[in-house]
C-alpha cells in the first residue's frame, strides 16, 4: 500500500507573535487534523517556537517526489534553495516583499536582500504547481511576476492570543484619562512611522495636548531609522511618543485595551493583520489607503487618501470626539471581522492540497550544481545595471554575457 504523501512547510524563519508565524502554525493544525504528516522546516526560529520546528537540512531526508512542500517565500534563504532543488511538489505561499527603495537610506543590507528576494522569486515561476497569495493584492503581484496558476489562501487571523489577561504593568502606565493613539507593527521604513509622528504632532498641538502616541513593535536592526525618528521628535518638541519595542501577547492585549484609536500610515502591506486585530478589540481604525490595506479593511474603519497632517489630525479628532461616530465605526469593523472569520480557511487550504496532489506530476526540477551561483551572478549584474549604470557599462564585454 502506497503511503499518503506528506505536506510539509518550509520557510526562512519562524517568528514569535507575527502574522506569518500564526499562519504557519494554523496551517499545520489543519493539515495534521486532516491526517497528513506535516512538519515545519526552518533555517531559524524564535527560541520559544524551536520545539515546533525542524532544521531545514532534515528536509533532504524527509523528501519524497509525491510529497508537497508549502513554501512560504519572503527573502531568499538556504531553506528556500534547499527546497527548490528537491523532487517534491511545491506550492508557493507569498506574503509579499517590501520594495527595496524603502530601505536604501536606512538599511542597505535589507535593501539588497529585498531586491534579491524579489529577483529570486522569478526562479520559482516554473518550479511551483501553484502560487498562493495571502491576499488578492499579493495574488495579483504573483500574476504580474508571471506565475501561471495563482489563487488566494485567505488570512484568517487567530485571535486567541487576544483573549489573554492583559499585562497589569502596561495598564498601570497608560490606562488614565489621556487619549492613547496606538500603532502596532515593526518600526521599519515602509510603515512610515515618521508620518505617524507628524500626524500625532498636529493632533496633539491643535486638538488634544493630553494625548500620547504608543508605537508597539520591534525595532531591532533598524537603529539608524529609529535614530532619525527620535531626531524628528526632538525637532518637533514632542514628549509623549513612546517606542515600546517587541512585546509579549499579554502586553499586546494591554496596549490594545488602553487604545482609543489605531492609526496607520504604512505605504506597503501585503495584508496587515494588526488592522483586523484592532477591529476585533473594538478600537476605531484610521489607515492610509495603500496597497492591500483597503481590501483588508473590507469597507470598515476610516481610510484617508492624502498624507496631509492637518487633514489627518482633523479626522483623528472627529473620531475621538464623537462617541456615536466611534460606535458606528466599531460596529462596521466587527461586521468585517465576522466576514473574515466566515471564510473557510480549512476547506480552502485542503482543497488546494487535494487539487495539487491529484494533478499529474510535473517533471522534477533539474538543478545544476552551480545553478544558484549563476543565479547570484546574474542578480549582481542586474543590481549593478539598475543602481550603478556607469559601472555596469564599464564592465568588459564578456562579463555581460
Does the structure show a pLDDT above 50 at 331? Answer: yes
- Architecture of domain 7-156+344-367 in CATH? 3-Layer(aba) Sandwich (3.40)
CATH number for the domain formed by residue range(s) 163-341 = 3.40.50.2000
What does the alpha-carbon distance between residue 224 and residue 6 come to, in Å, rounded to a whole number?
44
pLDDT at 110: 83
Give the Cα-Cα-Cα angle 269, 266, 24 (nearest 5 degrees): 35
- 361 band by pLDDT with thresholds 50, 70 and 90: confident
Please report where in the chains the cell 526632538 appears, as a residue.
Answer: 234
What does the alpha-carbon distance between residue 151 and residue 328 come to, in Å, rounded to a whole number?
33
What does the alpha-carbon distance between residue 45 and residue 10 come to, in Å, rounded to a whole number?
12
What does the alpha-carbon distance between residue 192 and residue 106 come to, in Å, rounded to a whole number?
12
- 45 band by pLDDT with thresholds 50, 70 and 90: very high
Q: How far apart are the first and last CA of the chain?
A: 51
Q: Which of 83, 131, 92, 12 is nearest to 364 (CA)?
A: 83
Q: Convert the pLDDT of each residue in 17-30 to its tens digit.
A: 777 888 999 999 99
Does the structure show a pLDDT above 70 at 385? Answer: no
- Report residue 116: phi and psi, to 5°: -70, -35
Q: What share of the chain is helix, strand, coil (3-state, %, to 5)?
A: 50, 15, 35
Question: Quick one: how far is CA 191 from the chain centroid?
Answer: 11
The reply to whether domains 7-156+344-367 and 163-341 share a CATH topology is yes
Q: Convert the pLDDT of each residue in 146-200 to its tens digit.
A: 999 999 998 877 788 899 999 999 988 999 999 999 999 999 999 999 999 999 9
What does the alpha-carbon distance between residue 146 and residue 79 come to, in Å, rounded to a whole number?
23
pLDDT at 370: 52
Q: Convert the pLDDT of each residue in 265-283 to its tens digit.
A: 999 999 999 999 999 999 9
Question: 158, 117 in Cβ contact below 8 A?
Answer: no
DSSP per-residue codes, 302-366: EEE----HHHHHHHHHHHHT-HHHHHHHHHHHHHHHHHHHTS-HHHHHHHHHHHHHHSPPPPPP-
Please report where in the chains the cell 477591529 appears, as a residue.
Answer: 279
Give start and end residues of each alpha helix (H) in 122-220. 136-145, 168-174, 193-206
Task: State if pTM tops 0.95.
Answer: no
- Domain ranges across the chain: 7-156+344-367, 163-341
What does the alpha-carbon distance between residue 265 and residue 195 come to, in Å, rounded to a whole number?
6
How many Å is the Cα radius of gyration of the chain? 23
Q: Alpha carbon of 69 to those of 60, 128, 131, 145, 251: distances in Å?
A: 12, 10, 12, 21, 35
Contacts of 150-155 spanning 24+ positions with Cβ under 8 A: 151/352, 153/93, 153/345, 153/348, 153/349, 153/352, 154/340, 154/343, 154/345, 154/348, 155/19, 155/23, 155/271, 155/273
Amino acid at each position: 500500500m502506497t503511503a499518503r504523501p506528506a505536506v510539509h512547510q518550509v520557510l526562512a524563519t519562524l517568528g514569535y507573535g507575527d502574522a506569518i508565524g500564526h499562519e504557519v502554525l494554523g496551517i499545520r493544525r489543519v493539515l495534521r487534523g486532516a491526517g497528513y504528516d506535516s512538519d515545519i522546516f526552518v533555517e531559524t526560529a524564535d527560541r520559544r517556537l524551536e520545539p515546533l520546528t525542524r532544521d531545514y537540512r532534515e528536509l533532504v531526508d524527509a523528501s519524497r517526489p509525491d510529497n508537497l512542500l508549502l513554501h512560504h517565500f519572503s527573502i531568499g534563504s538556504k531553506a528556500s534553495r534547499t527546497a527548490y532543488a528537491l523532487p517534491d511538489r511545491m506550492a508557493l505561499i507569498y506574503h509579499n516583499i517590501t520594495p527595496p527603495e524603502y530601505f536604501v537610506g536606512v538599511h542597505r543590507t535589507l535593501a539588497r536582500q529585498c531586491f534579491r528576494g524579489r529577483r529570486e522569486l522569478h526562479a520559482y515561476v516554473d518550479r511551483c504547481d501553484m502560487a498562493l497569495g495571502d491576499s488578492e493584492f499579493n495574488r495579483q503581484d504573483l500574476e504580474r511576476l508571471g506565475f501561471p496558476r495563482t489563487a488566494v489562501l485567505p488570512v484568517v487571523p487567530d485571535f486567541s492570543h487576544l483573549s489573554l489577561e492583559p499585562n497589569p504593568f502596561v495598564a498601570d502606565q497608560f490606562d488614565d484619562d489621556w487619549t492613547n493613539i496606538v500603532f502596532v507593527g515593526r518600526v521599519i521604513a515602509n510603515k512610515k512611522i515618521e508620518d505617524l509622528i507628524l500626524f500625532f504632532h498636529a493632533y496633539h498641538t491643535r486638538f488634544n495636548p493630553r494625548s500620547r502616541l504608543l508605537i508597539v513593535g520591534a525595532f531591532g536592526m533598524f537603529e539608524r531609522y529609529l535614530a532619525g525618528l527620535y531626531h524628528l521628535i526632538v525637532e518637533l518638541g514632542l514628549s509623549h511618543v513612546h517606542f515600546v519595542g517587541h512585546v509579549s501577547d499579554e502586553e499586546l492585549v494591554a496596549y490594545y485595551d488602553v487604545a482609543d484609536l489605531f492609526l496607520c500610515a504604512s505605504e506597503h502591506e501585503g495584508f496587515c493583520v494588526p488592522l483586523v486585530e484592532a477591529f476585533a478589540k473594538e478600537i476605531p481604525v484610521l489607515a492610509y489607503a495603500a496597497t492591500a490595506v483597503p481590501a483588508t479593511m473590507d469597507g470598515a474603519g476610516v481610510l484617508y487618501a492624502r498624507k496631509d497632517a492637518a487633514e489627518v489630525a482633523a479626522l483623528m479628532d472627529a473620531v475621538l470626539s464623537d462617541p456615536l461616530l466611534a460606535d458606528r465605526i466599531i460596529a462596521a469593523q466587527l461586521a468585517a471581522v465576522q466576514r473574515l472569520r466566515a471564510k473557510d480557511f480549512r476547506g480552502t487550504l485542503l482543497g488546494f492540497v487535494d487539487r495539487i496532489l491529484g494533478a499529474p506530476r510535473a517533471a522534477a526540477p533539474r538543478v545544476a550544481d552551480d545553478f544558484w551561483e549563476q543565479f547570484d551572478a546574474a542578480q549582481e549584474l542586474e543590481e549593478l545595471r539598475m543602481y550603478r549604470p556607469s559601472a555596469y557599462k564599464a564592465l568588459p564585454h564578456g562579463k555581460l554575457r
